[in-house]
Amino acid sequence: MKRQENKLILVTGGAGFIGSAVIRQLINHTSYKVVNVDKLTYAGNLESLLSVANNERYYFEQVDICDANSLKKVFATYQPDIVMHLAAESHVDRSIDGPSEFIQTNIVGTYTLLEQARQYWNTLTTEKKLNFRFHHISTDEVYGDLAHPDEDDNAKDSLFTETTSYEPSSPYSASKASSDHLVRAWQRTYDFPTIITNCSNNYGAYHFPEKLIPLVILNALEGKELPIYGKGNQIRDWLFVEDHARALILVATQGKIGETYNIGGHNEKQNIEVVKIICNILDEIRPKSTKYAEQITYVKDRPGHDMRYAIDATKIQQKLGWTPQETFETGIKKTVQWYLDNQQWCKNVQDGSYQIEKLGSNK
């Protein structure tokens, strides 16, 4: 038996969009054991893990990361080698409507998890202690926004690097920035072995239908309006979720302790471009008497809306050899097809949940 087969990764937020992609890859392509620690909020859906749920290396614990006692039991029971922390409130529009849950889960929850992980780590044998790592998964939104080509001819040259200073704009990004600071402080103060990744906008299968891409696909199919914030010229750097999951597993298992890695797709697109691309794909594979783009409408912009995000992913490419495998063109086709083929998943996760009224710029 290879040594890796004995190791266990504790994934928080594993029933969410990115966490479920990470767990499916860990179970299908590695021999790690995985314990998924998830509270199952509206955004957490065990249906996204049906393909691995019966695997003997997969375990699930319904636990809130703000609950210190339950976390203590989970650490004692599973004795993890690696923690990958993805649990979060993640939707910017919801953070504007009600920031409280974001402060609670993203800041207090990260603090509680860090403390329980550190107490557990303090009890480990020297060898296990040396190999332990806590990987905190964060967003490029902590950096604020970049110059936009509509306003600055040289904008294309400015990218977020690992040393860009933090300037979060929304309650969501401010709460994620706070959690990043906590993680770095635990590393610096306690020598607790942490790694942070900051990633751009993800898209792909199993994405909760309040976010831009699944929302556009589903609204388009239902003949509803496709409302675009402002002029729709906000730029995001899109990354296929399976590419993100591959990067996260690489960082968690081979990244250097104390480092930060930016992860991005080299796919800068204006929101309106993304919506038009989806409409064109639907025109091709699900044609109807009118063009889907005729459903596009423009609505008042989101307050404090960031204009442009773009990642410089040179470090992870050079240090760990990661590059995305999908282009936006190939990834978005797969995504549209997945939503066409999985209408039942969409219905199930939407039942009784957040009203899909707004078209967020993405996350």
- Interface ranges with ligand NAD (CB under 6 A): 12-13, 15-19, 38-41, 43-44, 64-66, 86-90, 105, 109, 137, 139, 176, 199, 201-202, 208, 363
- Of 343, 339, 360, give the one whose Cα is nearest residue 351: 343
Return d(Cα 229, Cα 359) in angstroms, integer. Answer: 7
Nearer to ligand NAD, 15 or 307 (CB): 15
Q: Any residues with CB less than 8 A from the CB of 16 and at least 6 apart, and which?
A: 38, 43, 44, 45, 48, 86, 87, 90, 208
Return d(Cα 195, Cα 258) in angstroms, integer. Answer: 5
Percent helix, strand, coil in the chain (nearest 5)? 45, 15, 40
Question: Two tokens at 5?
Answer: 């087969």
Rounded to a whole number of angstroms, the minimum distance from the CB of residue 2 to ligand NAD is 29
Nearer to ligand NAD, 176 or 308 (CB): 176
Rounded to a whole number of angstroms, the minimum distance from the CB of residue 67 to ligand NAD is 8
Rounded to a whole number of angstroms, the minimum distance from the CB of residue 208 to ligand NAD is 5
- Asked if 353 and 290 count as a contact pair (C-beta separation under 8 A), the reply is no
Nearer to ligand NAD, 19 or 171 (CB): 19
3 state SS of 202: strand
List residues with catalytic annotation: 140-141, 172
Which residue number is nearest to ligand NAD in terms of Cβ?
Answer: 16
Rounded to a whole number of angstroms, the minimum distance from the CB of residue 352 to ligand NAD is 15
Rounded to a whole number of angstroms, the minimum distance from the CB of residue 192 to ligand NAD is 19
- Asked if 163 and 328 count as a contact pair (C-beta separation under 8 A), the reply is no
Return d(Cα 8, Cα 133) in angstroms, integer. Answer: 12
Rounded to a whole number of angstroms, the minimum distance from the CB of residue 314 to ligand NAD is 18
Return d(Cα 120, Cα 76) in angstroms, integer. Answer: 7
Radius of gyration of the chain (CA): 20
Return d(Cα 215, Cα 198) in angstroms, integer. Answer: 24
Nearer to ligand NAD, 200 or 219 (CB): 200
Return d(Cα 92, Cα 344) in angstroms, integer. Answer: 26
